[in-house]
Amino acid sequence: LWSYRYAALCLRCIRAQWAEAGVDLSQRPEILMTIYNLGMNKCPPRQNPQAGGAIFSLDDVEYTFGSFAWEFYWSGRAYPELPF
């Protein structure tokens, strides 16, 4: 339970930091997860951020942490637990 709370707190802090800089990440799960994966110190707020992060393969398809988060979030597979 605490690990989920920690992750949620980190994501909330990222959104707040970027909102203060004038960048809205409320509809950008790929950016939130990229920053979570790489760390806030390596991803300062900026306009037009790009998804990235660690690269991994599933079924011979390469994904970055951020691009996979985008596909998973918008697929609706987690909708009962994470309604958007």
What is the phi/psi pair of residue 26, to 5°? Answer: -65, -25
Q: What pLDDT is attached to residue 44?
A: 94
pTM: 0.81
Alpha helix locations (H) across the chain?
Answer: 2-20, 29-38, 65-75
Place of tokens 């958007």: 84
**Residue-averaged pLDDT of the chain:** 90
Residue with tokens 């950016």: 31
Which residue ranges of the chain lie beneath pLDDT 50? none
